[in-house]
Amino acid sequence: MPEPPELYAPEPGDVHARRAAALREVLHADAVARDEAGGQPLDAVRALKASGLNAAWIGRAYGGEGASWTSILRVVREFARTDGSIAHLYGYQHLPLHITAARATPAQLANWFPASVRENWLWSNSGNVMSRTSTARRVGTHWVLDGHRPFSSGTHVADVIQVSWDGDGGRYTAVIPADRDGVGIAHDWDGIGQRQTGSGTVLFQGVRIADEELLGRPGDEVTPFVSLNSLLQQLVLAQVFIGSAQGALAEGRDYTVRESRPWIHSGVERHTDDPWVQRRYGGLHIRVQAAQALAEQAAAQLDELYPQGHGLTAHARGSLAISAAAANVVAGEVGLAVAEEVFEVMGARSATRARGYDRFWRNVRTHTLHNPAEYKKRTLGQWLLDGSHPQPAPYR
Amino acid sequence: MPEPPELYAPEPGDVHARRAAALREVLHADAVARDEAGGQPLDAVRALKASGLNAAWIGRAYGGEGASWTSILRVVREFARTDGSIAHLYGYQHLPLHITAARATPAQLANWFPASVRENWLWSNSGNVMSRTSTARRVGTHWVLDGHRPFSSGTHVADVIQVSWDGDGGRYTAVIPADRDGVGIAHDWDGIGQRQTGSGTVLFQGVRIADEELLGRPGDEVTPFVSLNSLLQQLVLAQVFIGSAQGALAEGRDYTVRESRPWIHSGVERHTDDPWVQRRYGGLHIRVQAAQALAEQAAAQLDELYPQGHGLTAHARGSLAISAAAANVVAGEVGLAVAEEVFEVMGARSATRARGYDRFWRNVRTHTLHNPAEYKKRTLGQWLLDGSHPQPAPYR
Amino acid sequence: MPEPPELYAPEPGDVHARRAAALREVLHADAVARDEAGGQPLDAVRALKASGLNAAWIGRAYGGEGASWTSILRVVREFARTDGSIAHLYGYQHLPLHITAARATPAQLANWFPASVRENWLWSNSGNVMSRTSTARRVGTHWVLDGHRPFSSGTHVADVIQVSWDGDGGRYTAVIPADRDGVGIAHDWDGIGQRQTGSGTVLFQGVRIADEELLGRPGDEVTPFVSLNSLLQQLVLAQVFIGSAQGALAEGRDYTVRESRPWIHSGVERHTDDPWVQRRYGGLHIRVQAAQALAEQAAAQLDELYPQGHGLTAHARGSLAISAAAANVVAGEVGLAVAEEVFEVMGARSATRARGYDRFWRNVRTHTLHNPAEYKKRTLGQWLLDGSHPQPAPYR
Amino acid sequence: MPEPPELYAPEPGDVHARRAAALREVLHADAVARDEAGGQPLDAVRALKASGLNAAWIGRAYGGEGASWTSILRVVREFARTDGSIAHLYGYQHLPLHITAARATPAQLANWFPASVRENWLWSNSGNVMSRTSTARRVGTHWVLDGHRPFSSGTHVADVIQVSWDGDGGRYTAVIPADRDGVGIAHDWDGIGQRQTGSGTVLFQGVRIADEELLGRPGDEVTPFVSLNSLLQQLVLAQVFIGSAQGALAEGRDYTVRESRPWIHSGVERHTDDPWVQRRYGGLHIRVQAAQALAEQAAAQLDELYPQGHGLTAHARGSLAISAAAANVVAGEVGLAVAEEVFEVMGARSATRARGYDRFWRNVRTHTLHNPAEYKKRTLGQWLLDGSHPQPAPYR
């Protein structure tokens, strides 16, 4: 007698993905309750740090594991199968990590990365992008930062944060401890999904920043390598969406097998014998597979290009931008579709708060709004029509 | 300078729809908070009763207004534009009202309907359909009902309830006060949407039922007229879905006009100048219009047939079943699509619990599960292929 | 034993629709062969004229029947169920008929309309819109027109044609016999669908036009009434699309019932017992119904407004523009979907040239390109967002 | 100034794919004319043979190139970008080639395969599957085959054909020259697409077959390896669909860049600057990419499993069946969508017979009917729900 297969098992050869799958089981235990609670996922972050995955990306030279981007992105996907917030926090910390790797001096790296590994820092990006709501002035030998930043995901549980402001000569970026005096968390995140990402406001009141904490200087060229940041973002989100789809489908499947009853007029004994149920699950699974295949391709392309560092050409970066945009759009569409449609074949009794299956839809719906598919499709179309790659910029 | 138009205004000539639109404004004030709270919509039901709409369907002979089905269904739609639960409770009470009109003796009608008008009874259906979880036995001159019934929407705020059980000679149905000794509400409804419908369990512990409370006798023929019940259900739900779509779109439009910011790479000054935003709103609106046109057609067909009473032929009933199924399916699909997609053009800041725009998706997703589109499409296809109408039964 | 129902029967009370349904049977006999042949539908036009439908729209005062727009549009739909070309030619002739009714002098009307009825003229529009490829000069007491006009549907079989050119003081429009010296047909229409519409080039070589043939004068105000033209176009096309969908579905249904075999792994004895086949037909039918409901609403709105003539306000015209755009978009989408998907449940043996079922897809695909849904959706969205109606112009 | 990129370029390291891309250019020259003509693609088959690709799959031991399945499938895709018929004929010949490789004796292989390489045989499958319309009887030392077989693609241009019949002890299969006495081609293929596949009837009138031409014996076990046949079929078709999508998109892109005019109300100077056009091309491209990623994965899985030969387990075969079904379904959906929607952004002038862009839709629509997505989705769903793999059978 065949048994329901394990769906979306981690690559056997990928130790990080496998570790993430194990941690996912832990996160799963109270995922629904934490979604309801919102706020800070303190225990979950503790478990993440204990898993050794938190610092896995940092290079072996600094005591990390030098995990590939492919692995990191799979970890994001694993987490998203039950907890989109942890997936987001984990994935997004690699944006400041990348920026630091790309822009920090050897001395800074020697200072920060080993400490990050040792103390298991969770990084977060609190630098403004779309709104310019914070400013810094020079006071003696320091900078003093004031203002606030919205949508500052992860700052509420981070150990170190990246901040930025516009000043003489351009844009300043710095890395500081999250508990620096004057850094405050508004705890005002109120999203319908991604409830524990803390994507609310971080407040800066007279935050002192030393020159040694600056990443590069304002005039520094933003190389194609540095600008990979916005592609990392898209690739992380793509995995959040795919993981959510996989979670929704796998949890839905389990529910269906275990609990769903045949429809009153179905004429079948078991709900799973209904051609409708089979077709729907099959159809959703196919879409998940296609999205994953595309995302894995883009991750592999990133891994191939990344070692080129600042030597990365604009053309190569542009080519990856095309792949990342495609992966992101497909992933978002699949995430929404699966999270919505799987209910249909689970049935009316599945749609309860206690079950919490709706968190997948709320998570994907929330996060797909931050980088509209419309514009990524246009970007892709522009390239297809005239060969131009998107100008590196936030979200593209 | 043109202004955003009023969307989906009630028919000027339909006093009930217009009254409902006014009441909708009242319900709107705390609709988000009530969605969050769940439980019993006591104030909202009070407002409903005060509006005079509650008993509008009951015939003039009994002191009611004899409102048409078209009007009643429009009232449902109006309510659903902000509060799917009230829409559901209001609409669904017409199922026991219809059954009573169809099966009660003249004496019973003379007893119940004037009282219902005078005291503004809210009716509810607590009769089992799919599960047979309650039974009654004869004790002296009474029946005594024990058991429970799941998905018993509205019983938690009803004044009178319809109950049923299987006994000698078939199925018994009765109408009793909701506060009859032994009737208990489990308050266990925990849906992700339709939060105040109280669609949980009603408990029966030694509930005494008199012969005078029986609707007809078990052996009575279930005429095509009586079996309109399951079509009423589909038509009510269709309006819940369409109203939800209209609410999501109209609230979304208002938010977009008032608060949405243009996308960072849009190149437009106002978000509403973005062709994407225009196209999306236009496209969603079209679907809502098509769904409404179909639902109005089916309502008109019902109004045309209803006066035939028990003279209604199986063929006429079947023909209405085809129309009702079509209207219901289109409505459900539109409801889900609009409630999900409108977020895309509202933008990231709209997806908060405080705004509560996600209630539309949760409401439609919850309720579309109770009568799968799959089976209605099959029903329609069967008719199209061989001319057979669905056998009257629950949900068809 | 139930029989497959008659699908999309004409309204019993609409004599024109019923007559059209009868003529449709005649057109059906060689519809596939004529689609393959392309060119001029001479016999079909002869049959159209014999049916009395050709001049039905012309008012009773002129000897016509004064058919309502609703009826005319239903006739278009009936024809499109088997022959999109005749549907197009028939429908489109009402654009110059409307322009003539709106702009001609009483003397012109008294001259043209009775003759049109008596001699069963087929009208056609050969006036440039998007391209300005023809010009006229004044020669003595006449105008002399030279140039050409692309996409000149119907000119190849028309009796009278409307022509236009830009000259002193603005745009000139005239009505002339199609056999006037110098009018030539390039017979270069080569569309993948709508094969007999003759939508190719008409050539003008020294075509003499008398002042008495001018419709109004260049400076004349283009009233909202006159500009109904582009809405008529959209409404005619909507019916071509819906009729095509109905034809595809009805022919598909008949084929399925008569000839389709169950799929090898279906486990059912008759193909029509396959839940897949039932669901697909049901789902397609629903979409057709919704499109038809919307189109009928728009037609009724046109009939209500039309008698206002030049008194029609811009607002009322704008409101109809919104309805017409919605009906057109839904119709186009449904037409494509049905024409493509019905093959799936007919099966592999149905997809032959001899059967010609693909003409429906080719017809709808061809004609939906002439007025992109994208722009109509934007138009609708703009109205929804700021209340502005589309500026009257070709295609809106 | 950037230029439109080369779309879907063959893998640089895949010599067969690159050779196919070159041949595709040749096939492209008269692809539209051949689509219109139907019949036998004699010149195209000659060019195929001249390219050296025809026998590329046959192992090096026999003088072939031992091309991987991945390469063969890419060749199919390349051809389908302009000529779905050649793609089909080329791909499908690998079904009898596989069966021969799997079932022939060493002596037969030593006989047939070198000859096939040397003489560039085109193989074809003329063995019945769904219908049993031919029979053979024993006459002396030979078999004599009579009857016919429908949908016998490729037989009209094949050099060798595989035939089969039911006899004592089960099913017989044989390989014979296509010009064997008594083999006749009805030339009755009349599909709306795949016009030169000759998928009509092959007739058998007293066709003599020697024992040495039999593949195995009726009682032979149909190992999972042998039953890869129906998966090869699905994988070949998937590539026909993806190649068609790529052809439609790439030809559409070129047309759009070169010839399309901006829409009258677009406000842009170049059609390619319209956000609509960009979005549509981007969105279609993404879908093509996802389909290709999935198909490539399945091809790689086949290449990994194939060397196991008759040692291939039922489980491994089942696992590939899941991948093949997924790839096939996605490919078919993408093929239809791209082939239909690309017209929208090419515009009205593109939809002519002379251009022939509609052949992509007709090709995909025709061929997707031969193995309904519905059943492949059900198959996938069954596996997902209970872990069962499809029983090897035609089409699964």
Tokens of B226: 């009586």
Longest dimension (CA), chain D: 81
ipTM over 0.90: yes
Secondary structure letter of residue A316 according to DSSP:
H
pLDDT tens digits, C89-129: 999 999 999 999 999 999 999 999 999 999 999 999 887 66
Residue A219's pLDDT band (cuts 50, 70, 90): confident
Residue D86's pLDDT band (cuts 50, 70, 90): very high
- Give the CATH architecture of domain A15-119: Orthogonal Bundle (1.10)
pLDDT tens digits, D319-372: 999 999 999 999 999 999 999 999 999 999 999 999 999 999 999 999 999 999
The set of residues, in sequence order, having a beta carbon less than 8 Å from that of B387 and lying 6+ positions away, is C2, C3, C4, C5
Q: Nearest-CA residue of chain C relative to D343?
A: C369
Q: Cα–Cα distance between A305 and A291 in angstroms, integer?
A: 21
Residues D174-189 have a mean pLDDT of 96
- Give the distance, in angstroms, between the CA of residue B28 and the centroid of all CA atoms in the same chain: 18
- Kindly compute the dihedral angle of the four CA atoms of residues D301, D303, D304, D309, in this order, to the nearest 10 degrees: 120
Q: Cα–Cα distance between D162 and A352 in angstroms, integer?
A: 58
Residue D312 has pLDDT above 90, yes or no: yes
| List of chain C residues whose C-beta atoms are within 8 Å of the C-beta of residue B257 | 385-386
Residue C132's pLDDT band (cuts 50, 70, 90): confident
Q: Nearest-CA residue of chain D relative to C377?
A: D276
Of C265, C266, C351, the CB nearest to D366: C351
| List of chain B residues whose C-beta atoms are within 8 Å of the C-beta of residue C2 | 386-389
Residue C1's pLDDT band (cuts 50, 70, 90): low
How much is the pLDDT for D129? 65
The mean pLDDT value of chain C amounts to 96
Residue A129's pLDDT band (cuts 50, 70, 90): low
Residue C168 has pLDDT above 90, yes or no: no
Residue A184 has pLDDT above 80, yes or no: yes
- Kindly compute the dihedral angle of the four CA atoms of residues B40, B44, B48, B51, in this order, to the nearest 10 degrees: 160
Q: Which residues pair with B146 in a beta bridge?
A: B135
- The pTM score is 0.97
Residue A198 has pLDDT above 80, yes or no: yes
Q: What are phi and psi of A183, to 5 degrees?
A: -85, 120
> Which residues of chain D approach chain C closer than 8 Å at the C-beta?
130, 151, 190-193, 263-266, 276, 336, 340, 343-344, 346-348, 350-354, 357-358, 361-362, 365-366, 368-370, 372-375, 393-396
Chains that touch B (3 or more CB pairs under 8 A): A, C, D
Q: Report the share of chain B in percent with pLDDT over 90.
A: 92
Q: Cα–Cα distance between D197 and D88 in angstroms, integer?
A: 7
Q: Say which amino acid occupies D40.
A: Q
* Sequence spans of domains, chain D: 15-119, 123-213, 228-386
pLDDT tens digits, D269-289: 999 999 999 999 999 999 999
- Of residues D87, D78, D95, the one with CA closest to residue D7: D78
How much is the pLDDT for C131? 63
Contact C265 D396 (CB under 8 A): yes
- Of residues C373, C237, A376, the one with CA closest to residue B282: C373
How much is the pLDDT for B134? 87
pLDDT tens digits, C48-74: 999 999 999 999 999 999 999 999 999
Q: Cα–Cα distance between D92 and D108 in angstroms, integer?
A: 21
Residue B305 has pLDDT above 70, yes or no: yes
Residue D295's pLDDT band (cuts 50, 70, 90): very high
How much is the pLDDT for D191? 97
Q: Report the share of chain B in percent with pLDDT over 70.
A: 99
Residue B1 has pLDDT above 70, yes or no: no
How much is the pLDDT for B330? 98
Q: Report the share of chain C in percent with pLDDT over 90.
A: 92
Other Cβ atoms closer than 10 A to C139: 10
pLDDT tens digits, B31-82: 999 999 999 999 999 999 999 999 999 999 999 999 999 999 999 999 999 9
- CA distances (Å), origin A169, targets A96, A208, A217, A221, C93: 22, 20, 9, 12, 68
Q: What is the CATH topology of the domain spanning D228-386?
A: Butyryl-CoA Dehydrogenase, subunit A; domain 3 (1.20.140)
| List of chain B residues whose C-beta atoms are within 8 Å of the C-beta of residue D279 | 276
Tokens of B8: 């989906």
- Of residues D204, D244, D257, D235, the one with CA closest to residue D371: D235
Cα torsion angle, D250, D253, D254, D260, sign: positive
Residue C344 has pLDDT above 90, yes or no: yes
Distance from CA of B296 to the nearest CA of C (A): 9
Residue A2's pLDDT band (cuts 50, 70, 90): confident
Contact C151 D348 (CB under 8 A): yes
pLDDT tens digits, C206-227: 999 999 999 999 889 999 999 9
Residue C187 has pLDDT above 90, yes or no: yes
Contact A394 B264 (CB under 8 A): yes
Q: Say which amino acid occupies D365.
A: R
Of the candidate ranges B144-148, C145-149, D87-91, D129-133, the one whose mean pLDDT is the lowest = D129-133
Contact C395 D265 (CB under 8 A): yes
Contact B257 C381 (CB under 8 A): no
Residue A127's pLDDT band (cuts 50, 70, 90): confident
Task: Give B12: exposed, middle or buried? Use CB within 10 Å, 0-12, 13-18, 19+.
Answer: exposed
Residue B131 has pLDDT above 70, yes or no: no
Residues B152-166 have a mean pLDDT of 94
Contact C329 B386 (CB under 8 A): no
The mean pLDDT value of chain A amounts to 96
Distance from CA of B285 to the nearest CA of C (A): 8
How much is the pLDDT for A130? 61
Residue C333 has pLDDT above 90, yes or no: yes
- Residue where the block lists tokens 């249909």: A344
Q: Nearest-CA residue of chain A relative to D289?
A: A294
The set of residues, in sequence order, having a beta carbon less than 8 Å from that of D303 and lying 6+ positions away, is D68, D69, D70
Could you tell me how many residues make up chain C? Answer: 396
Please give the CATH superfamily to which domain D123-213 belongs.
Answer: Butyryl-CoA Dehydrogenase, subunit A, domain 2 (2.40.110.10)
Residue A128's pLDDT band (cuts 50, 70, 90): low
Distance from CA of B163 to the nearest CA of C (A): 34
> Which residues of chain C approach chain D closer than 8 Å at the C-beta?
130, 151, 190-193, 263-266, 276, 336, 340, 343-344, 346-348, 350-354, 357-358, 361-362, 365-366, 368-370, 372-375, 393-396
- Of residues C193, A382, B173, the one with CA closest to residue D2: A382
